[in-house]
């Protein structure tokens, strides 16, 4: 039986978390040893602009691989396109612990971070710190890079090696939180020797706009959370956060799609224990979310950083989330669940604290998909205005809302392309979500695409998504 995507009426609710992110900013003039980007970069607006420049840069690099400017320019355009693996290979010879070129170091460090090579990212960002002046944008970029690298590797105490931030926004609030954090986060305690945990989904995930809901315990209190890989830390409704008496380390301001773009203040605290079936996490970072007061009915959100502590499988067919150790043996167990048929593999990269991207197809054009499972709507995806313009899509206003919808002919990750559907637009709260991370974020793929695939396993060690082999829809 073939699996098909399901579309229905225009959605009434949207829950796309985790979109208040820091971006890689341009370097400030006057810093030492910067490699100047090509002048045509200033004209890059749509994906077609970047693709048009690719051939010339590839030819220049092929003609003289020893030309460092040509090598950097080629790596840079591959980065913009989202071809991170090739970009990393191209830039690597220019960036090592002895490099004096800050621009090369910045690009190489960023790519190492995106691909989960955190040891190399730490080395390169550390070299940037040595070469740049405090107060410069490049020095701030290195500080952000080290903060995020230590965040992803659960080395919160290392953040105290960095100066306290002057403000408390974006990456600065993360640094403030990490510097105030006591002990190591995300301790793991298994209840059984099998070291596997299951969280049953308690609702009908096949309904339009329905997101998986699971029950877990925070400091011994049962809470019902939606699954959303578009969120970072564990999100708990502020009322529940207060009732648990969590230790608040700092506060931040953030904007989300689910708040309609409104800025909300959030306490950032710590839960002693979070029990998920047969496994318990200790010393867990928590965000106090403006949640139920704006109409949300769950208690909060199970997000990427919790999933990231494990080899995590969203088992839609069996209506459960399965958590395993991040070990080769556990990965072999996952492979065995596919019954001898190799799974479909989709490489991904991850930017900021939690935004995962994979390559895919949209109306026959290769793009970068932000994989956010927490979009509570009947459509499987969101497109940005630049993608609408690129593909010449017709938009249809949704009366009484700021949103629009558009018809799509084909969509999906590479190897998992599906047919016609609908996409929503004008959802992202950022002024320039398309370019804010330095590469093109073309569209968001979510739950209504994912659940009909049967299961979705996220392997953070190998930066790979695994899906069951799909039967033809023909």
Give domain limits for the chain. 39-169, 342-467
- CA 244/CA 294 separation, integer angstroms: 21
b/e code 167-181 from CB counts within 10 Å (16+ = b): eeebbbbbbbbbbbb
- Of the candidates 242, 231, 354, 356, the residue with the CA atom closest to the CA atom of residue 301: 231
Q: What is the pLDDT of residue 470?
A: 86
pLDDT tens track, the chain, 474 positions: 222 222 333 333 344 433 322 222 222 223 345 454 443 456 899 999 999 999 999 999 999 999 999 999 999 999 999 999 999 999 999 999 999 999 999 999 999 999 999 999 999 999 999 999 999 999 999 999 999 999 999 999 999 999 988 765 555 789 999 999 999 999 999 999 999 999 999 999 999 889 999 999 999 999 999 999 999 999 999 999 999 999 999 998 877 767 767 888 899 999 999 999 999 999 999 999 888 887 888 999 999 999 999 999 999 999 999 999 999 999 999 999 999 899 999 999 999 999 999 999 999 999 999 999 999 889 999 999 999 999 999 999 999 989 999 999 999 999 999 999 999 999 887 778 999 999 999 999 999 999 999 999 999 999 999 999 987 654
Distances (CA, A) of 254 to 32, 73, 149, 171: 34, 34, 21, 12
- CA 114/CA 108 separation, integer angstroms: 10
For domain 39-169, give the CATH superfamily.
Tetratricopeptide repeat domain (1.25.40.10)
Give me the residues paired with residue 368 across strands. Answer: 359
Among left, alpha and beta (phi > 0; psi -120 to 50; other), residue 153 is alpha
Determine which helix (DSSP H) or strand (DSSP E) holds 213, and give its type and residue range. strand 213-218
Long-range pairs for 266-273: beta carbons < 8 A, 24 or more residues apart: 266/290, 267/238, 267/241, 268/173, 268/177, 268/233, 269/241, 270/181, 270/182, 270/246, 271/218, 271/219, 271/234, 271/244, 271/246, 272/219, 273/217, 273/218, 273/219, 273/220
Cβ-based neighbour number of residue 411 at 10 Å = 26
Among left, alpha and beta (phi > 0; psi -120 to 50; other), residue 445 is beta
Q: What is the pLDDT of residue 11?
A: 38
Q: What is the pLDDT of residue 292?
A: 87
DSSP designation for 426: S
Q: What is the pLDDT of residue 171?
A: 59
- The CATH code belonging to domain 342-467 is 2.40.70.10
* Whether the model pTM is above 0.85: yes
- CA 234/CA 300 separation, integer angstroms: 8
Q: What is the pLDDT of residue 293?
A: 84
- CA 468/CA 474 separation, integer angstroms: 18
């Amino acid at each position: 039986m073939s699996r098909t995507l399901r579309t229905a009426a225009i959605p009434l609710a949207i829950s796309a978390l985790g979109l208040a992110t820091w971006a890689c900013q341009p370097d400030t003039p006057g810093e030492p040893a910067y490699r100047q980007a090509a002048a045509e970069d200033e004209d890059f607006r749509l994906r077609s602009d970047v693709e048009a420049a690719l051939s010339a840069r590839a030819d220049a690099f092929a003609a003289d691989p020893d030309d460092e400017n040509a090598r950097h320019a080629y790596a840079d355009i591959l980065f913009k396109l989202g071809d991170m693996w090739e970009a990393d290979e191209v830039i690597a010879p220019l960036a090592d612990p002895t490099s004096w070129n800050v621009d090369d170091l910045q690009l190489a460090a960023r790519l190492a971070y995106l691909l989960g090579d955190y040891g190399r990212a730490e080395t390169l960002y550390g070299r940037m710190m040595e070469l740049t002046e405090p107060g410069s944008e490049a020095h701030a970029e290195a500080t952000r890079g080290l903060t995020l690298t230590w965040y992803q590797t659960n080395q919160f105490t290392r953040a105290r090696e960095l100066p306290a931030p002057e403000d408390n926004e974006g990456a600065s609030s993360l640094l403030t939180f990490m510097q105030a954090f006591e002990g190591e986060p995300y301790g793991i305690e298994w209840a059984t020797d099998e070291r596997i945990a299951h969280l049953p989904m308690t609702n009908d995930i096949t309904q339009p706009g329905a997101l998986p809901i699971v029950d877990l315990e925070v400091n011994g209190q049962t809470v019902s959370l939606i699954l959303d890989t578009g969120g970072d830390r564990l999100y708990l409704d502020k009322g529940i956060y207060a009732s648990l008496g969590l230790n608040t380390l700092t506060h931040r301001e953030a904007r989300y799609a689910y708040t309609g773009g409104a800025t909300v203040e959030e306490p950032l605290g710590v839960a002693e224990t979070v029990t998920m079936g047969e496994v318990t996490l200790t010393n867990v970072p928590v965000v106090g979310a403006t949640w139920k007061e704006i109409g949300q009915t769950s208690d909060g959100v199970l997000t990427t950083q919790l999933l990231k502590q494990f080899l995590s499988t969203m088992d839609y067919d069996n209506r459960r989330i399965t958590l395993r150790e991040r070990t080769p043996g556990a990965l072999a167990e996952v492979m065995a669940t596919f019954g001898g048929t190799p799974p479909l593999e989709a490489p991904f990269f991850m930017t900021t604290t939690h935004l995962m991207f994979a390559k895919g197809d949209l109306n026959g054009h290769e793009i970068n998909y932000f994989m956010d499972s927490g979009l509570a709507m009947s459509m499987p995806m969101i497109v940005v205005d630049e993608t609408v313009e690129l593909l010449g899509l017709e938009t249809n206003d949704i009366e009484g809302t700021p949103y629009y919808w558009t018809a799509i002919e084909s969509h999906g990750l590479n190897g998992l392309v599906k047919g016609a559907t609908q996409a929503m637009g004008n959802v992202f709260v950022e002024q320039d979500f398309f370019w804010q991370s330095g590469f093109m974020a073309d569209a968001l793929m979510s739950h209504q695409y994912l659940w009909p695939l049967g299961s979705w396993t996220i392997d953070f060690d190998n930066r790979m998504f695994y899906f069951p082999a799909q039967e033809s829809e023909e």
